Structure 1
Amino acid sequence: MFDTVIAYFESIPPVLAALYATLFTWFLTAAGASVVFFFRSMNRAVLDGMLGFTGGVMVAASYWSLLSPAIDMSKGEGFVKVIPAATGFILGALFLFGLDKALPHLHINFRENESEGIKTKTPWQRTTLLVLAITLHNIPEGLAVGVLFGGVAAGIPEASIAGALTLAIGIGIQNFPEGIAVAMPLRRMGMSRKKSFMYGQSSALVEPVAGVLGAVAVAFFTPILPYALAFAAGAMIFVVVEEVIPETQRDKNTDIATLGFIGGFVVMMTLDVALG
Protein backbone atom coordinates (compact mmCIF):
# COMPACT_ATOMS: atom_id res chain seq x y z
CA MET A 1 0.00 0.00 0.00
CA PHE A 2 2.83 2.38 0.86
CA ASP A 3 4.31 1.74 -2.59
CA THR A 4 0.99 2.73 -4.16
CA VAL A 5 0.95 5.97 -2.18
CA ILE A 6 4.55 6.70 -3.23
CA ALA A 7 3.65 6.09 -6.88
CA TYR A 8 0.74 8.52 -6.64
CA PHE A 9 2.82 11.24 -4.99
CA GLU A 10 5.53 10.77 -7.62
CA SER A 11 2.92 11.44 -10.32
CA ILE A 12 1.93 14.89 -9.04
CA PRO A 13 3.93 18.14 -8.69
CA PRO A 14 6.05 18.10 -5.48
CA VAL A 15 4.55 21.37 -4.20
CA LEU A 16 1.06 19.89 -4.52
CA ALA A 17 2.38 16.74 -2.83
CA ALA A 18 3.63 18.90 0.05
CA LEU A 19 0.17 20.44 0.37
CA TYR A 20 -1.53 17.03 0.46
CA ALA A 21 0.97 15.65 2.96
CA THR A 22 0.59 18.57 5.36
CA LEU A 23 -3.19 18.48 5.00
CA PHE A 24 -2.87 14.88 6.21
CA THR A 25 -0.91 16.02 9.28
CA TRP A 26 -3.58 18.67 9.93
CA PHE A 27 -6.32 16.06 9.56
CA LEU A 28 -4.80 13.89 12.29
CA THR A 29 -4.63 16.94 14.58
CA ALA A 30 -8.33 17.45 13.91
CA ALA A 31 -8.96 13.75 14.59
CA GLY A 32 -7.24 14.10 17.95
CA ALA A 33 -9.20 17.23 18.79
CA SER A 34 -12.46 15.38 17.95
CA VAL A 35 -11.96 13.24 21.07
CA VAL A 36 -13.67 16.08 22.99
CA PHE A 37 -16.97 14.97 21.45
CA PHE A 38 -16.69 11.73 23.43
CA PHE A 39 -14.88 12.72 26.64
CA ARG A 40 -14.99 15.81 28.82
CA SER A 41 -11.58 15.27 30.39
CA MET A 42 -8.56 13.01 30.20
CA ASN A 43 -6.32 11.55 32.87
CA ARG A 44 -3.34 13.85 33.39
CA ALA A 45 -0.88 10.94 33.28
CA VAL A 46 -2.21 9.89 29.86
CA LEU A 47 -1.92 13.45 28.58
CA ASP A 48 1.66 13.77 29.83
CA GLY A 49 2.54 10.44 28.22
CA MET A 50 1.10 11.66 24.92
CA LEU A 51 3.06 14.90 25.10
CA GLY A 52 6.21 12.92 25.83
CA PHE A 53 5.48 10.76 22.78
CA THR A 54 5.17 13.93 20.70
CA GLY A 55 8.59 15.10 21.86
CA GLY A 56 10.19 11.76 21.04
CA VAL A 57 8.83 11.78 17.50
CA MET A 58 10.05 15.33 16.93
CA VAL A 59 13.59 14.60 18.17
CA ALA A 60 13.91 11.41 16.09
CA ALA A 61 12.54 13.15 12.99
CA SER A 62 14.98 16.02 13.51
CA TYR A 63 17.93 13.67 13.15
CA TRP A 64 16.90 10.86 10.78
CA SER A 65 14.68 12.88 8.44
CA LEU A 66 16.39 16.28 8.54
CA LEU A 67 19.90 16.59 9.99
CA SER A 68 21.36 13.38 8.62
CA PRO A 69 20.22 14.09 5.02
CA ALA A 70 21.40 17.70 5.36
CA ILE A 71 24.90 16.51 6.29
CA ASP A 72 24.93 13.82 3.58
CA MET A 73 24.09 16.29 0.79
CA SER A 74 26.62 18.93 1.91
CA LYS A 75 29.87 19.14 -0.04
CA GLY A 76 33.38 18.97 1.38
CA GLU A 77 34.90 16.94 4.18
CA GLY A 78 35.37 17.28 7.95
CA PHE A 79 34.34 20.61 9.44
CA VAL A 80 33.43 22.05 6.03
CA LYS A 81 30.83 19.34 5.41
CA VAL A 82 28.94 20.05 8.63
CA ILE A 83 28.85 23.87 8.29
CA PRO A 84 25.51 24.04 6.38
CA ALA A 85 23.77 21.75 8.87
CA ALA A 86 25.22 23.56 11.90
CA THR A 87 24.35 26.98 10.47
CA GLY A 88 20.81 26.00 9.54
CA PHE A 89 20.25 24.31 12.90
CA ILE A 90 21.30 27.43 14.81
CA LEU A 91 19.18 29.71 12.60
CA GLY A 92 16.13 27.48 13.07
CA ALA A 93 16.50 27.53 16.84
CA LEU A 94 16.97 31.31 16.82
CA PHE A 95 13.90 31.73 14.61
CA LEU A 96 11.71 29.87 17.11
CA PHE A 97 13.43 31.70 19.96
CA GLY A 98 12.38 34.98 18.37
CA LEU A 99 8.80 33.82 17.85
CA ASP A 100 8.69 32.50 21.41
CA LYS A 101 9.67 35.90 22.77
CA ALA A 102 7.40 37.90 20.46
CA LEU A 103 4.21 35.85 20.21
CA PRO A 104 2.02 35.77 23.34
CA HIS A 105 1.31 32.13 24.23
CA LEU A 106 0.70 29.79 27.15
CA HIS A 107 2.16 26.32 27.47
CA ILE A 108 -0.17 23.42 28.19
CA ASN A 109 -0.37 22.65 31.95
CA PHE A 110 0.95 26.14 32.82
CA ARG A 111 -0.93 28.75 34.84
CA GLU A 112 -2.24 31.87 33.09
CA ASN A 113 0.24 34.13 34.90
CA GLU A 114 3.04 32.07 33.33
CA SER A 115 2.20 33.11 29.76
CA GLU A 116 5.16 34.03 27.57
CA GLY A 117 5.82 36.53 24.80
CA ILE A 118 5.09 40.24 24.59
CA LYS A 119 2.64 41.42 27.22
CA THR A 120 -0.22 43.56 25.93
CA LYS A 121 -2.33 46.14 27.73
CA THR A 122 -5.39 44.00 27.10
CA PRO A 123 -4.66 40.45 28.34
CA TRP A 124 -5.30 37.74 25.76
CA GLN A 125 -7.75 34.99 26.61
CA ARG A 126 -6.28 31.74 27.90
CA THR A 127 -7.88 29.93 24.96
CA THR A 128 -6.02 32.03 22.41
CA LEU A 129 -2.74 31.70 24.29
CA LEU A 130 -3.00 27.89 24.39
CA VAL A 131 -3.77 27.64 20.66
CA LEU A 132 -0.89 29.95 19.79
CA ALA A 133 1.48 27.76 21.82
CA ILE A 134 0.62 24.68 19.76
CA THR A 135 0.72 26.73 16.57
CA LEU A 136 4.39 27.41 17.39
CA HIS A 137 4.89 23.61 17.53
CA ASN A 138 3.43 23.17 14.08
CA ILE A 139 5.39 25.76 12.10
CA PRO A 140 8.64 23.74 11.98
CA GLU A 141 6.71 20.49 11.45
CA GLY A 142 4.98 21.76 8.32
CA LEU A 143 8.18 23.39 7.13
CA ALA A 144 10.12 20.13 7.52
CA VAL A 145 7.70 18.18 5.32
CA GLY A 146 7.58 20.93 2.69
CA VAL A 147 11.35 21.26 2.51
CA LEU A 148 11.77 17.55 1.78
CA PHE A 149 9.23 17.70 -1.04
CA GLY A 150 10.99 20.80 -2.35
CA GLY A 151 14.21 18.80 -2.44
CA VAL A 152 12.44 16.21 -4.60
CA ALA A 153 11.30 18.97 -6.95
CA ALA A 154 14.89 20.21 -7.19
CA GLY A 155 16.10 16.72 -8.09
CA ILE A 156 18.33 16.26 -5.04
CA PRO A 157 19.23 12.54 -4.77
CA GLU A 158 19.15 12.56 -0.96
CA ALA A 159 15.54 13.86 -0.98
CA SER A 160 12.92 11.23 -1.82
CA ILE A 161 9.15 11.00 -1.91
CA ALA A 162 9.38 8.01 0.44
CA GLY A 163 11.40 10.00 2.97
CA ALA A 164 9.06 12.98 2.79
CA LEU A 165 5.98 10.77 3.20
CA THR A 166 7.57 8.93 6.11
CA LEU A 167 8.19 12.23 7.86
CA ALA A 168 4.60 13.30 7.19
CA ILE A 169 3.31 10.02 8.65
CA GLY A 170 5.47 10.42 11.77
CA ILE A 171 4.40 14.02 12.31
CA GLY A 172 0.78 13.05 11.67
CA ILE A 173 0.96 10.31 14.31
CA GLN A 174 2.27 12.73 16.91
CA ASN A 175 -0.28 15.37 15.87
CA PHE A 176 -3.12 13.14 17.03
CA PRO A 177 -2.21 13.39 20.74
CA GLU A 178 -1.28 17.03 20.15
CA GLY A 179 -4.85 17.74 19.03
CA ILE A 180 -6.10 16.08 22.20
CA ALA A 181 -3.65 18.10 24.28
CA VAL A 182 -5.11 21.36 22.97
CA ALA A 183 -8.80 20.50 22.91
CA MET A 184 -9.09 18.70 26.26
CA PRO A 185 -7.86 21.58 28.47
CA LEU A 186 -10.29 23.90 26.69
CA ARG A 187 -13.16 21.48 27.28
CA ARG A 188 -12.13 21.13 30.93
CA MET A 189 -12.26 24.94 31.24
CA GLY A 190 -15.95 24.80 30.34
CA MET A 191 -15.81 25.53 26.62
CA SER A 192 -18.35 23.72 24.44
CA ARG A 193 -17.34 20.56 22.60
CA LYS A 194 -17.67 22.27 19.22
CA LYS A 195 -15.53 25.26 20.17
CA SER A 196 -12.91 23.05 21.84
CA PHE A 197 -12.68 21.02 18.65
CA MET A 198 -12.48 24.09 16.41
CA TYR A 199 -9.67 25.63 18.44
CA GLY A 200 -7.86 22.29 18.67
CA GLN A 201 -7.82 21.63 14.93
CA SER A 202 -7.05 25.26 14.03
CA SER A 203 -3.67 25.02 15.77
CA ALA A 204 -2.41 22.84 12.89
CA LEU A 205 -3.74 24.94 10.00
CA VAL A 206 -0.33 26.60 9.83
CA GLU A 207 1.24 23.30 8.72
CA PRO A 208 -0.07 23.31 5.11
CA VAL A 209 0.98 26.96 4.78
CA ALA A 210 4.49 26.29 6.11
CA GLY A 211 4.73 23.11 4.03
CA VAL A 212 3.93 24.82 0.73
CA LEU A 213 6.22 27.76 1.48
CA GLY A 214 9.07 25.39 2.35
CA ALA A 215 8.59 23.34 -0.82
CA VAL A 216 8.45 26.42 -3.07
CA ALA A 217 11.51 28.03 -1.45
CA VAL A 218 13.70 24.95 -1.88
CA ALA A 219 12.43 24.17 -5.38
CA PHE A 220 13.48 27.63 -6.57
CA PHE A 221 16.65 27.94 -4.48
CA THR A 222 18.16 24.46 -4.52
CA PRO A 223 21.45 25.36 -2.73
CA ILE A 224 19.56 26.21 0.46
CA LEU A 225 18.21 22.66 0.91
CA PRO A 226 20.75 21.43 3.52
CA TYR A 227 20.36 24.73 5.39
CA ALA A 228 16.55 24.46 5.18
CA LEU A 229 16.48 20.87 6.46
CA ALA A 230 18.72 21.76 9.40
CA PHE A 231 16.68 24.95 9.99
CA ALA A 232 13.53 22.86 10.46
CA ALA A 233 15.45 20.48 12.75
CA GLY A 234 16.74 23.33 14.91
CA ALA A 235 13.26 24.80 15.21
CA MET A 236 11.80 21.43 16.21
CA ILE A 237 14.47 20.74 18.82
CA PHE A 238 13.95 24.20 20.30
CA VAL A 239 10.22 23.48 20.65
CA VAL A 240 10.86 20.12 22.33
CA VAL A 241 13.39 21.42 24.87
CA GLU A 242 11.77 24.78 25.59
CA GLU A 243 8.12 23.75 25.49
CA VAL A 244 7.17 20.09 25.15
CA ILE A 245 9.42 18.60 27.84
CA PRO A 246 8.63 21.28 30.47
CA GLU A 247 4.91 20.71 29.83
CA THR A 248 5.30 17.03 30.78
CA GLN A 249 7.25 17.72 33.98
CA ARG A 250 4.67 19.83 35.82
CA ASP A 251 3.01 16.98 37.72
CA LYS A 252 4.05 13.62 39.16
CA ASN A 253 4.05 11.80 35.83
CA THR A 254 7.65 12.35 34.81
CA ASP A 255 8.35 8.62 34.36
CA ILE A 256 5.28 8.16 32.17
CA ALA A 257 6.22 11.21 30.10
CA THR A 258 9.79 9.93 29.72
CA LEU A 259 8.60 6.50 28.60
CA GLY A 260 6.25 8.22 26.17
CA PHE A 261 9.23 10.16 24.79
CA ILE A 262 11.21 6.92 24.33
CA GLY A 263 8.23 5.32 22.60
CA GLY A 264 7.79 8.25 20.23
CA PHE A 265 11.50 8.27 19.40
CA VAL A 266 11.52 4.53 18.61
CA VAL A 267 8.35 4.78 16.47
CA MET A 268 9.76 7.62 14.34
CA MET A 269 13.19 6.00 14.05
CA THR A 270 11.59 2.73 12.94
CA LEU A 271 9.36 4.45 10.39
CA ASP A 272 12.25 6.40 8.92
CA VAL A 273 14.59 3.42 8.64
CA ALA A 274 11.92 0.98 7.43
CA LEU A 275 10.04 3.24 5.03
CA GLY A 276 12.31 6.20 4.26
Structure 2
Amino acid sequence: MLETLGSLNPILQALLATLFTWGLTALGAAVVFTTKKVNRSFLNAMLGFAAGVMIAASFWSLLSPAIAMAEDNGQIAWLPAVIGFLLGGGFLYAVDKLLPHLHMDLPRDQAEGLKTTWQRSVLLVLAITLHNIPEGLAVGVAFGAAAAGIPTATLASAVALAIGIGLQNFPEGLAVSMPLRGEGFSRWRSFFYGQLSGVVEPMAGVFGAALVIFIRPLLPYALAFAAGAMIYVVIEELIPESQRTGSTDISTIGAMLGFALMMLLDVALG
Protein backbone atom coordinates (compact mmCIF):
# COMPACT_ATOMS: atom_id res chain seq x y z
CA MET A 1 0.00 0.00 0.00
CA LEU A 2 2.82 2.42 0.86
CA GLU A 3 4.42 1.88 -2.56
CA THR A 4 1.18 2.75 -4.33
CA LEU A 5 0.59 5.76 -2.12
CA GLY A 6 4.20 6.88 -2.55
CA SER A 7 3.79 7.08 -6.32
CA LEU A 8 1.11 9.75 -5.98
CA ASN A 9 1.52 13.51 -5.82
CA PRO A 10 1.97 14.50 -2.14
CA ILE A 11 -0.97 16.89 -2.28
CA LEU A 12 -3.12 14.00 -3.52
CA GLN A 13 -1.67 11.84 -0.75
CA ALA A 14 -2.74 14.43 1.81
CA LEU A 15 -6.20 14.66 0.24
CA LEU A 16 -6.70 10.88 0.36
CA ALA A 17 -5.44 10.70 3.94
CA THR A 18 -7.74 13.46 5.14
CA LEU A 19 -10.69 11.96 3.26
CA PHE A 20 -9.97 8.85 5.33
CA THR A 21 -10.01 10.87 8.57
CA TRP A 22 -13.22 12.59 7.47
CA GLY A 23 -14.68 9.16 6.73
CA LEU A 24 -14.07 8.04 10.31
CA THR A 25 -15.76 11.22 11.55
CA ALA A 26 -18.76 10.20 9.43
CA LEU A 27 -18.56 6.64 10.81
CA GLY A 28 -18.75 7.99 14.35
CA ALA A 29 -21.70 10.18 13.40
CA ALA A 30 -23.41 7.13 11.83
CA VAL A 31 -23.78 5.53 15.26
CA VAL A 32 -26.88 7.70 15.49
CA PHE A 33 -28.62 5.21 13.18
CA THR A 34 -28.27 2.44 15.77
CA THR A 35 -29.22 4.22 18.98
CA LYS A 36 -30.71 7.48 20.24
CA LYS A 37 -28.45 7.82 23.26
CA VAL A 38 -24.86 6.81 23.96
CA ASN A 39 -23.49 5.99 27.40
CA ARG A 40 -21.82 9.12 28.78
CA SER A 41 -18.96 7.15 30.35
CA PHE A 42 -18.21 5.60 26.96
CA LEU A 43 -18.19 9.03 25.35
CA ASN A 44 -15.89 10.37 28.07
CA ALA A 45 -13.49 7.48 27.44
CA MET A 46 -13.55 8.17 23.70
CA LEU A 47 -12.90 11.89 24.18
CA GLY A 48 -10.02 11.05 26.52
CA PHE A 49 -8.72 8.62 23.91
CA ALA A 50 -8.82 11.39 21.30
CA ALA A 51 -6.86 13.67 23.64
CA GLY A 52 -4.20 11.00 24.18
CA VAL A 53 -3.78 10.43 20.45
CA MET A 54 -3.39 14.13 19.78
CA ILE A 55 -0.82 14.62 22.54
CA ALA A 56 1.32 11.73 21.31
CA ALA A 57 1.00 12.79 17.67
CA SER A 58 2.01 16.33 18.57
CA PHE A 59 5.38 15.14 19.82
CA TRP A 60 6.34 12.08 17.77
CA SER A 61 4.85 13.13 14.44
CA LEU A 62 5.31 16.91 14.60
CA LEU A 63 7.58 18.45 17.24
CA SER A 64 10.34 15.84 17.18
CA PRO A 65 10.73 16.00 13.37
CA ALA A 66 10.59 19.81 13.52
CA ILE A 67 13.51 19.91 15.97
CA ALA A 68 15.52 17.39 13.93
CA MET A 69 14.91 19.31 10.68
CA ALA A 70 15.99 22.61 12.20
CA GLU A 71 19.16 20.99 13.49
CA ASP A 72 19.92 19.45 10.08
CA ASN A 73 19.42 22.87 8.47
CA GLY A 74 21.97 24.44 10.77
CA GLN A 75 19.33 26.40 12.69
CA ILE A 76 18.99 26.66 16.46
CA ALA A 77 17.26 23.33 17.03
CA TRP A 78 14.62 24.50 19.46
CA LEU A 79 13.79 27.89 17.95
CA PRO A 80 11.42 26.92 15.08
CA ALA A 81 9.68 24.41 17.35
CA VAL A 82 9.05 26.96 20.09
CA ILE A 83 7.98 29.74 17.71
CA GLY A 84 5.75 27.48 15.61
CA PHE A 85 4.23 25.82 18.68
CA LEU A 86 3.25 29.13 20.28
CA LEU A 87 1.94 30.51 16.99
CA GLY A 88 -0.23 27.42 16.56
CA GLY A 89 -1.70 27.83 20.03
CA GLY A 90 -2.16 31.55 19.45
CA PHE A 91 -3.98 30.92 16.18
CA LEU A 92 -6.43 28.52 17.84
CA TYR A 93 -6.90 30.96 20.71
CA ALA A 94 -7.91 33.67 18.23
CA VAL A 95 -10.23 31.33 16.34
CA ASP A 96 -11.75 30.18 19.65
CA LYS A 97 -12.54 33.78 20.57
CA LEU A 98 -13.94 34.73 17.18
CA LEU A 99 -15.74 31.62 15.86
CA PRO A 100 -19.18 31.14 17.45
CA HIS A 101 -19.42 27.62 18.88
CA LEU A 102 -21.06 25.63 21.65
CA HIS A 103 -19.75 22.65 23.60
CA MET A 104 -22.02 19.68 24.19
CA ASP A 105 -24.10 19.54 27.38
CA LEU A 106 -24.04 23.34 27.70
CA PRO A 107 -27.07 25.62 27.27
CA ARG A 108 -27.34 27.88 24.23
CA ASP A 109 -26.55 31.01 26.26
CA GLN A 110 -23.06 29.67 27.06
CA ALA A 111 -21.92 29.69 23.44
CA GLU A 112 -18.39 31.04 22.96
CA GLY A 113 -16.98 33.36 20.31
CA LEU A 114 -18.75 36.29 18.72
CA LYS A 115 -22.42 36.68 19.60
CA THR A 116 -24.75 35.24 17.00
CA THR A 117 -28.32 34.05 16.48
CA TRP A 118 -27.20 30.81 14.81
CA GLN A 119 -29.01 27.66 15.81
CA ARG A 120 -27.65 25.37 18.54
CA SER A 121 -26.99 22.63 15.98
CA VAL A 122 -24.72 24.89 13.93
CA LEU A 123 -22.81 25.95 17.04
CA LEU A 124 -22.24 22.32 18.07
CA VAL A 125 -20.86 21.49 14.63
CA LEU A 126 -18.54 24.49 14.73
CA ALA A 127 -17.14 23.39 18.10
CA ILE A 128 -15.95 20.08 16.61
CA THR A 129 -14.89 21.78 13.37
CA LEU A 130 -12.53 23.85 15.49
CA HIS A 131 -10.84 20.58 16.54
CA ASN A 132 -10.48 19.39 12.99
CA ILE A 133 -8.60 22.38 11.56
CA PRO A 134 -5.26 21.53 13.24
CA GLU A 135 -5.80 17.80 12.69
CA GLY A 136 -6.19 18.18 8.93
CA LEU A 137 -3.29 20.64 8.84
CA ALA A 138 -1.07 18.20 10.76
CA VAL A 139 -1.76 15.36 8.33
CA GLY A 140 -1.15 17.57 5.30
CA VAL A 141 2.10 18.95 6.69
CA ALA A 142 3.30 15.42 7.50
CA PHE A 143 2.79 14.26 3.91
CA GLY A 144 4.38 17.42 2.59
CA ALA A 145 7.40 16.85 4.81
CA ALA A 146 7.76 13.26 3.61
CA ALA A 147 7.63 14.41 -0.02
CA ALA A 148 10.31 17.01 0.69
CA GLY A 149 12.77 14.19 1.35
CA ILE A 150 13.39 15.06 5.01
CA PRO A 151 15.05 12.00 6.63
CA THR A 152 13.12 12.39 9.88
CA ALA A 153 9.76 12.64 8.06
CA THR A 154 8.75 9.46 6.24
CA LEU A 155 5.68 8.41 4.31
CA ALA A 156 5.10 5.66 6.87
CA SER A 157 5.06 8.17 9.73
CA ALA A 158 2.61 10.37 7.81
CA VAL A 159 0.34 7.35 7.29
CA ALA A 160 0.63 6.50 10.99
CA LEU A 161 -0.43 10.03 11.86
CA ALA A 162 -3.42 9.82 9.51
CA ILE A 163 -4.49 6.52 11.09
CA GLY A 164 -4.19 7.97 14.59
CA ILE A 165 -6.10 11.13 13.70
CA GLY A 166 -8.74 9.04 11.96
CA LEU A 167 -9.25 6.82 15.02
CA GLN A 168 -9.74 9.80 17.32
CA ASN A 169 -12.15 11.40 14.83
CA PHE A 170 -14.67 8.63 15.51
CA PRO A 171 -15.74 10.01 18.91
CA GLU A 172 -15.78 13.55 17.53
CA GLY A 173 -18.44 12.63 14.98
CA LEU A 174 -20.29 10.84 17.74
CA ALA A 175 -20.04 13.90 19.99
CA VAL A 176 -22.03 15.95 17.47
CA SER A 177 -24.64 13.52 16.16
CA MET A 178 -25.74 11.97 19.46
CA PRO A 179 -26.59 15.21 21.33
CA LEU A 180 -28.55 16.40 18.30
CA ARG A 181 -30.46 13.12 18.14
CA GLY A 182 -31.21 13.44 21.85
CA GLU A 183 -32.68 16.88 21.22
CA GLY A 184 -35.15 15.47 18.71
CA PHE A 185 -33.33 15.83 15.39
CA SER A 186 -33.95 13.10 12.83
CA ARG A 187 -31.28 10.41 12.42
CA TRP A 188 -30.33 11.64 8.95
CA ARG A 189 -30.10 15.26 10.04
CA SER A 190 -28.03 14.34 13.10
CA PHE A 191 -25.70 12.27 10.92
CA PHE A 192 -25.39 15.07 8.38
CA TYR A 193 -24.30 17.58 10.99
CA GLY A 194 -21.98 15.05 12.62
CA GLN A 195 -20.04 14.27 9.45
CA LEU A 196 -20.11 17.90 8.36
CA SER A 197 -17.74 18.77 11.20
CA GLY A 198 -14.99 16.79 9.44
CA VAL A 199 -15.30 18.49 6.04
CA VAL A 200 -12.64 21.02 6.99
CA GLU A 201 -9.95 18.33 7.34
CA PRO A 202 -9.38 17.64 3.61
CA MET A 203 -9.20 21.39 2.95
CA ALA A 204 -6.70 21.95 5.78
CA GLY A 205 -4.73 18.87 4.72
CA VAL A 206 -4.30 19.99 1.11
CA PHE A 207 -3.35 23.49 2.26
CA GLY A 208 -0.75 22.14 4.70
CA ALA A 209 0.85 19.82 2.13
CA ALA A 210 1.00 22.52 -0.54
CA LEU A 211 2.43 25.05 1.89
CA VAL A 212 5.43 22.99 2.97
CA ILE A 213 6.16 21.71 -0.55
CA PHE A 214 6.38 25.17 -2.06
CA ILE A 215 7.89 26.94 0.95
CA ARG A 216 10.25 24.31 2.32
CA PRO A 217 12.11 26.57 4.82
CA LEU A 218 8.81 26.94 6.70
CA LEU A 219 8.55 23.19 7.28
CA PRO A 220 9.84 23.03 10.90
CA TYR A 221 7.63 25.97 11.79
CA ALA A 222 4.60 24.40 10.08
CA LEU A 223 5.05 21.10 11.92
CA ALA A 224 5.37 22.87 15.26
CA PHE A 225 2.42 25.15 14.40
CA ALA A 226 0.19 22.11 13.89
CA ALA A 227 1.43 20.63 17.17
CA GLY A 228 0.69 23.83 19.09
CA ALA A 229 -2.80 24.05 17.62
CA MET A 230 -3.52 20.43 18.51
CA ILE A 231 -2.28 20.79 22.09
CA TYR A 232 -4.43 23.91 22.49
CA VAL A 233 -7.49 21.90 21.43
CA VAL A 234 -6.62 19.09 23.85
CA ILE A 235 -6.23 21.39 26.87
CA GLU A 236 -9.01 23.83 26.03
CA GLU A 237 -11.62 21.45 24.64
CA LEU A 238 -11.14 17.69 24.82
CA ILE A 239 -9.93 17.14 28.37
CA PRO A 240 -12.49 19.47 30.00
CA GLU A 241 -15.32 17.95 27.94
CA SER A 242 -14.24 14.40 28.79
CA GLN A 243 -14.30 15.24 32.52
CA ARG A 244 -17.28 17.58 32.61
CA THR A 245 -19.56 15.04 34.31
CA GLY A 246 -17.04 14.35 37.08
CA SER A 247 -16.10 10.84 35.95
CA THR A 248 -12.39 11.53 35.56
CA ASP A 249 -10.96 8.01 35.83
CA ILE A 250 -12.53 6.65 32.65
CA SER A 251 -11.45 9.64 30.54
CA THR A 252 -7.93 9.47 32.01
CA ILE A 253 -7.65 5.78 31.14
CA GLY A 254 -8.91 6.59 27.64
CA ALA A 255 -6.23 9.27 27.28
CA MET A 256 -3.50 6.85 28.39
CA LEU A 257 -4.66 4.24 25.86
CA GLY A 258 -4.87 6.81 23.07
CA PHE A 259 -1.37 8.08 23.81
CA ALA A 260 0.03 4.57 23.91
CA LEU A 261 -1.64 3.58 20.63
CA MET A 262 -0.42 6.67 18.78
CA MET A 263 3.08 6.19 20.17
CA LEU A 264 3.02 2.57 18.99
CA LEU A 265 1.78 3.53 15.51
CA ASP A 266 4.35 6.27 15.06
CA VAL A 267 7.34 4.31 16.33
CA ALA A 268 6.38 1.00 14.71
CA LEU A 269 5.36 2.41 11.32
CA GLY A 270 7.53 5.52 11.25
Quickly name the TM-score band, shorter chain normalised: over 0.9
Q: 1:1-276 alignment to 2 at 5 Å? A: 5-75=1-71, 80-120=76-116, 123-276=117-270
Q: Which amino acid aligns with 1:73?
A: M
Q: What SS does the corresponding residue of 2:103 show, helix, strand or coil?
A: coil
Q: Tell me how far apart the structure 1 counterparts of residues 47 and 2 of structure 2 sit (CA, whole Å).
A: 30
What TM-score does the superposition give when structure 2 sets the normalisation length? Answer: 0.97
Q: What SS does the corresponding residue of 2:76 show, helix, strand or coil?
A: helix
Q: Tell me how far apart the structure 2 counterparts of residues 86 and 55 of structure 1 sit (CA, whole Å).
A: 21
Alpha-carbon displacement from aligned partner over 1:47-79 (angstroms, at most 9, x marks no partner): 111111111111110011100110111137999
How far did 1:249 drift?
A: 1.8
How far did 1:109 drift?
A: 2.6
Q: Tell me how far apart the structure 2 counterparts of residues 77 and 214 of structure 1 sit (CA, whole Å).
A: 21
Q: Tell me how far apart the structure 2 counterparts of residues 227 and 159 of structure 1 sit (CA, whole Å).
A: 14
What TM-score does the superposition give when structure 1 sets the normalisation length? Answer: 0.95
Check conservation: 1:110, 1:247, Cα contact below 8 A: no
Q: What SS does the corresponding residue of 1:75 show, helix, strand or coil?
A: helix
How far did 1:157 drift?
A: 2.0
Uncovered stretches (5+) of structure 1, i.e. residues with no partner? none
Q: Tell me how far apart the structure 1 counterparts of residues 72 and 35 of structure 2 sit (CA, whole Å).
A: 55
Aligned CA RMSD, in angstroms, stands at 1.4
Q: What SS does the corresponding residue of 1:74 show, helix, strand or coil?
A: helix
Q: What SS does the corresponding residue of 1:242 show, helix, strand or coil?
A: helix
Q: Tell me how far apart the structure 2 counterparts of residues 108 and 266 of structure 1 sit (CA, whole Å).
A: 27
Alpha-carbon displacement from aligned partner over 1:249-276 (angstroms, at most 9, x marks no partner): 2113111111111111111111111111
Matched positions, count: 270
Once superposed, which parts of structure 1, at least 4 consecutive aligned residues long, lie more than 4 Å away?
A: 76-79
Q: Tell me how far apart the structure 1 counterparts of residues 74 and 256 of structure 2 sit (CA, whole Å).
A: 31
Q: Tell me how far apart the structure 1 counterparts of residues 141 and 247 of structure 2 sit (CA, whole Å).
A: 35
Uncovered stretches (5+) of structure 2, i.e. residues with no partner? none
Q: Tell me how far apart the structure 1 counterparts of residues 104 and 158 of structure 2 sit (CA, whole Å).
A: 29
